[in-house]
Structure 1
Amino acid sequence: MSRQLPADCLSEIFEYLDDDRITLRSCLLVNHTYCEVSVRILWRNVLNFQYIRHKLFLKYVPLSIISTLIACLPNESKDLLHKNGIYISTPTSKPPLFNYPSFCKYLSVDKIDQIIEQVLQKQPQSITSGSFNYNKYLLSQEILKMFMKQISSLKSLNYCSFGSVYSKKVQSIMFTYLPEAKNCLIDLKEFNCSSDIYSEFFFQISQICHNIQFLTIDLEEVISDGLTDLISLQNNLKSISLHSWDRDGTGIITSSLAKSSLTLTKLKIEAYYTPLSFISMFINLQELILSLESEDSFDDFNQLQYVIFPKLKILKLLCTISRVEMLIKFLETNGKNLMEFSVNYYHDNLLNLAIAEFCPNLKKLSIIFMKNELETLKLILNKCQYLENFNICGDRYLNSEEFLKILVKYLPKNFYELEINFYITYEGLEEFFINWKNRIPQKSLSLIITNYKNVNLNTLIEKYIKLGVIKKFKLK
C-alpha cells in the first residue's frame, strides 16, 4: 500500500521550487494534495512572471491569469462587466476549483493594469479609445475589489507608475476605501510606490499600515501629500530605497525618516544628486548602497567619513568617487566590520591598498585593477583571508595570465565564486583550471565570465565541470 507525504511536508518541500515554475505546474497534475499545495505557491506571487520574447508566452500568460481571476469574480461583478460589453472567456464554465485570489500575498497594481491592457487590446471587438480606457478601469476595479475581500493578509504591495501615464487610470481606483482593505493591508510588510500617486491613497493607507518594514519610493516631479506622513507613521521601518533623478527629490522626505533612525538597517539611494549628510542619523545601518550620477554628490561624503556605523556589513558605491581620500578615511573608521564592499569606477591604487589595510573580514569584494597593481592584488588576497566571492574588473592592458596565476596561488581556501570582467585568453583560462585542480584543498568554483568569445569555450567548461573544478558557470 503506497503512502503519501502529508500536506505540510509537501509544502515545506515545494517551497524550494518557488523559482521553478515549470516543476510546480507539473505537480498540479499528480493528485489533489499535490495540486492544492503547489497552487498556493504558484498563486502567492502570480503576477511576478518574467516577460520573455516569445509570442505564445506573451499571449498566453496574461490571458490565463485574467481569465482565471474573472472566473473567481462574484456574480454581481461579472454582470457589471457583461453589461459594459466585456466578455473574456474563462477556463471552464464550472466554478473554479480553488479560491485563487485568496492565495495571493504579493500584489502589483501596475502589473494588473499592464496585463489587463494587453488582454483587452487582443479582444476581437472594435472599441473606441474612450470605451477602452473605461473598460480597463472597470475590470481593474472589480479585480482589485476582489483581492481586497479575498486576501486575508497581504505581505507586499507594488504601486509604481515609473514616470509614465501607463498606470494612471488604475491610480484613480480607490480600493483602499473598501471596508475589507483594512484587514487585507494592516500587516503589509513591503510597499513599493511612486511619489505622484493621488494624495487620498497615501492618506488612507497611512491610517491602515503602520508596520511596513521594506519601503521603495520612486520620487517623481510631484510629491503627493500624505507620503511623508506614511513614512513617519511606520513603527519598524528596516529598509528604504529612494530613486530620484530630480536634484531635490530625496531632500523632501528625509526629515520624515527621523523616527526610523534606530530601526533602519538598509538604505539604498539612486539619484542624480542628493545631500548625504542625513545618512549619519542611521547609526544601526547594516547595508548602504549609493548610486549617484553627479560627481558633486560625493563631495557631501565629507560629513560621513568620520561617522561610526558599528553594524555596517555591506557597502556598495555604484558611482564616481570624486575624492577618494574621504572614502579611505571612512574605511579606516568602518572597514573592519565590512563583509561586502563594491565599487564600480576606478579611482587609484590608494583605494585598493586601503581595502587591504582596513577591510580584513571581507567575504565578498568587487573592485577594479589596472595593469600595474598585481602586487596590490597579492596584498589584498593575503590580508582578506575570509574572501569567498571576488568580482574583478580590469583594463585591457592587464596581464590576464599573470593575474589568474596570482588568484590560484593566493586566494584563501574557502573561496568559491569568481566573476571576471576583463579580457582573458583561452590558454590563460585553461591554465587557470589546471592550476585550480591542483590546489589543496580544492574547492569547486562558481564562475562568471563577461564578454568572452571563443568557439571552444563550452567544450573547455564541460571538461572541467566533469573533473569537479567548476560547479556552476555563467557567460554574461
Structure 2
Amino acid sequence: MPRQLPADCLNEIFEYIEQDKNTLYSCLLVNRLWCEVAVRILWRNIWNFQYGLFYMPYQIRILMSIINTLISCLPKESKEHLYEKGIDFKNRKSSLFNYASFCRVLSIHGIDQMIQLILRKQHSITSNYHKKLLSQEILKMFMTQVSSLKSLDCYSGYSKDIIFDNFPGAKKCLNNLTEFNCSSDIDSKFFYQISRICHNIQTLNITFGNDTSNGLAELISSQKNLKNVILQNYYTTTNNGKKVLNTLKKFSSTLIKLKIRKSYMPLLFISDFTNLQELILSSDYYGGCNYFNQLQHVVFPKLKVLKFYTFLEVEKLIKFLEINGKNLKELYIRDENNSLNLAIAKFCPNLKTLFTKFIINEPETLKTILNNCQYLENINFWRGYRYLNEIEFLDILTNYSPKNFYRLEMYYVFNAQSKLFSKELENFFINWNIRNSKKLLSLIIIKDYESLSLEENDKNMKIIERYMNLGFIKNFKIARYENNHYLY
C-alpha cells in the first residue's frame, strides 16, 4: 500500500500551484486529506478562477458553483430570513467545509454578478430588492466568518447600500486589509467607511470613471504605509481627480511601485516619488511621448524595474536610461529600435530580465547586449519577417549569453510561422548543454491563435521531450499571448 504524503508536504506543494486553479480544483477529488489541504488554498482567492475565456457556458457553470457553495455556507438564521422574504434556500444541504472562512480576498461586484445569475434561475425573483437582501446576508457571513481579509474589490454600482457598521465583526475582518481595488466614482460614504476602518492598505488600484468621489482622497490620506499604486483610465480633469494625485504625494518616501495604465495625465508628479523601485507606463495614446518628456531628466536612484508599453520618443528614453539604467534589473520596452538597444547595452549593465525586439539586421546588437549585460538571466525572441530568424538568434544565444542565463521566451504572434527544423533545434540543445553555464534552460513559448510556433512541428516536440527527460531542459511551457501581458 503506497504511503500518504503528510499534510505539511501537501500544503507546500499546493501553495506552489496556487495560481493554477484548475489543477488545484482537481486535487480536491483525490482523497479526503488532499481535499482538506487544497480547499483552503483554492478558496483563499476564488475570484481569479480561470473560467475559460472563450466558452461562456463553462464560465457560467463555475460562477454558479461558487455562489451555490457560498449560499450553502449561510447560517440557518440567514436562510430563514431570506425564506421569509421570498427567497427559498432552506432546503440546501449544509456544506462540507466552511468555505467562506477560507477566503482572504472578497469581490463585492463579483458577488453581485453571481447573485444575478442565481436569482435569474429562480425566474420569479429578479428584483433589486431580493438581490440586495441576498447580497447583504452573504457579506454579513464574510464579515462574521473571515478572521482577516487581505484584499477587497469594489466598483461603482455595487457599494451604495453597503453599511459595514451593520455587520458584526466587520471592523476585525477589514482591519488588516492590505489591498483595495476600486473605481473612483464609488459613493463617498463607502470610501469614508473604509477610511475609518482600514489604515494599512499597501496596494491601491484605482480605475477612474466618469467622476471622482470626494471620499477617495480621504481614503488615501488615511493610510499609513501605502507602497504600491495603480492608476487606470485617468482622463478626468475634475478637482477631485487632481486632489487624488496631490494626496498621493504624501507617500513620496514610501511608494515603491507605480503603474499607470491607459491614462492621459502629465507625468511630472511621478518625480516626487524618488524611492520608486518599479515604474510601469502603459498607453496606446501618442500624447504619452509629450508627457514622458517631463520625466527624462528625473533621477530615480532605487529604480530596479522599468516597463514601458507606450509610444515614446527614443531619444528621450535613451536619456532616461543614461540617468537611471545602471541599477535596473528588469527592463521591458515596446519599441523596436537599434539605437535604443545599443543604449540598453551601454547604460543597463546589471539587467537580469530584458524584453525588447531585435530587427533582422541587428545580430551584432544582440551580441553587444549579451556581452555587456553579464547578469542577464532572461531574454525574449520575437518571430516574424522583420525580426532575427530563429537559427541565428539561438546560435548567438548559445555562443554569447552570460553564465547565469537560463530563461528564453519565444514569441509567435501576428501570424508568425516557425521555420526551425528538428535537426537545428537538437543542435541548439546539444550546444547549450556543453556551454559553461550554471543553470538549466527554461523554454517558454508564447503564442496567439493565428501563429505556428516551433513545438507544433511533431519532430520538434519529440526533441523537446527527449532533452527534458535527459535533464537538459528544466522547464518547458506554452502560454497564450495577450497584448502587453508582461506588464502584469
TM-score by length of 1: 0.88
CA distance in 2, matches of 1:266, 1:251: 20
CA distance in 1, matches of 2:289, 2:300: 18
Amino acid across the alignment from 1:173:
I
CA distance in 1, matches of 2:268, 2:96: 55
The percent of aligned pairs where both chains have the same amino acid is 50
* Residue matched to 2:113: 114
Q: 1:141 aligns with which of 122, 136, 139?
A: 136
Deviations 1:55-108 (A, max 9, x none): 66335433332233223223332122112322247652xx44433222211101
Q: 2:362 aligns with which of 354, 373, 380?
A: 373
Amino acid across the alignment from 2:75:
P
Spell out the pairing of 1:422-441 with structure 2 (5 A cutoff): 423=416, 425-427=418-420, 430-439=423-432, 440-441=435-436
Aligned length: 462
Question: Measured at CA, do residues 452 and 252 of structure 1 come closer, stay the same or move farther in structure 2, by a change above 3 Å?
Answer: farther
Give yes or no for contact 1:247–1:272 (8 Å, CA) kept in 2: no
Higher mean displacement: 465-474 or 4-13: 4-13
* Residue matched to 1:474: 478
Point out where structure 2 has 5 or more consecutive residues left out of the alignment. 481-488
> Is 1:70 aligned to residue 71 of structure 2?
yes
Give yes or no for contact 1:172–1:198 (8 Å, CA) kept in 2: no
Higher mean displacement: 82-91 or 135-144: 82-91
Q: 1:314 aligns with which of 305, 308, 311?
A: 305
> Is 1:159 aligned to residue 159 of structure 2?
no
Q: 1:289 aligns with which of 276, 280, 300?
A: 280
Spell out the pairing of 1:317-328 with structure 2 (5 A cutoff): 317-321=308-312, 323-328=313-318
Question: Measured at CA, do residues 245 and 430 of structure 1 come closer, stay the same or move farther in structure 2, by a change above 3 Å?
Answer: farther
* Residue matched to 1:150: 145
Deviations 1:364-416 (A, max 9, x none): 11112223322211111111122111123466244514333322322223222
Deviations 1:153-173 (A, max 9, x none): 101101135xxxxxx255433
* Residue matched to 1:226: 215
* Residue matched to 1:464: 464
Spell out the pairing of 1:222-301 with structure 2 (5 A cutoff): 222-246=211-235, 248=237, 251-301=242-292
Deviations 1:131-188 (A, max 9, x none): 4322222111110111111111101101135xxxxxx255433235535211111100
CA distance in 2, matches of 1:463, 1:404: 16
Q: 1:386 aligns with which of 365, 375, 381?
A: 375
Cα displacement (A) at 1:445: 3.3
TM-score by length of 2: 0.86
* Residue matched to 2:49: 49
Cα displacement (A) at 1:198: 0.8
* Residue matched to 1:164: none
Question: Measured at CA, do residues 279 and 5 of structure 1 come closer, stay the same or move farther in structure 2, by a change above 3 Å?
Answer: same
Deviations 1:255-311 (A, max 9, x none): 111221111110000134111111111111111000123322332333322222121
Cα displacement (A) at 1:31: 6.4
CA distance in 1, matches of 2:196, 2:266: 30
Q: 2:319 aligns with which of 329, 337, 345?
A: 329
> Is 1:172 aligned to residue 166 of structure 2?
no
After the TM superposition, which segments of 4 or more aligned residues of structure 1 sit over 6 Å from their partners? 1-6
Amino acid across the alignment from 1:109:
I
* Residue matched to 1:410: 400
CA distance in 2, matches of 1:441, 1:388: 14
CA distance in 2, matches of 1:475, 1:10: 26
> Is 1:447 aligned to residue 444 of structure 2?
yes
Give yes or no for contact 1:232–1:256 (8 Å, CA) kept in 2: yes
* Residue matched to 2:80: 79
Question: Measured at CA, do residues 393 and 152 of structure 1 come closer, stay the same or move farther in structure 2, by a change above 3 Å?
Answer: same
Cα displacement (A) at 1:46: 2.5
CA distance in 1, matches of 2:234, 2:269: 18
Spell out the pairing of 1:190-205 with structure 2 (5 A cutoff): 190-205=179-194
Give yes or no for contact 1:47–1:112 (8 Å, CA) kept in 2: no
SS of alignment partner, residue 153 of structure 1: coil
CA distance in 2, matches of 1:282, 1:90: 56
Question: Measured at CA, do residues 42 and 428 of structure 1 come closer, stay the same or move farther in structure 2, by a change above 3 Å?
Answer: closer
Root-mean-square deviation over aligned CA pairs: 2.8
SS of alignment partner, residue 403 of structure 2: coil
CA distance in 1, matches of 2:31, 2:356: 51
Give yes or no for contact 2:207–2:231 (8 Å, CA) kept in 1: yes
CA distance in 2, matches of 1:194, 1:259: 21
Give yes or no for contact 1:70–1:90 (8 Å, CA) kept in 2: no
Question: Measured at CA, do residues 15 and 420 of structure 1 come closer, stay the same or move farther in structure 2, by a change above 3 Å?
Answer: closer
Deviations 1:166-213 (A, max 9, x none): xx2554332355352111111000110011111100011101111000
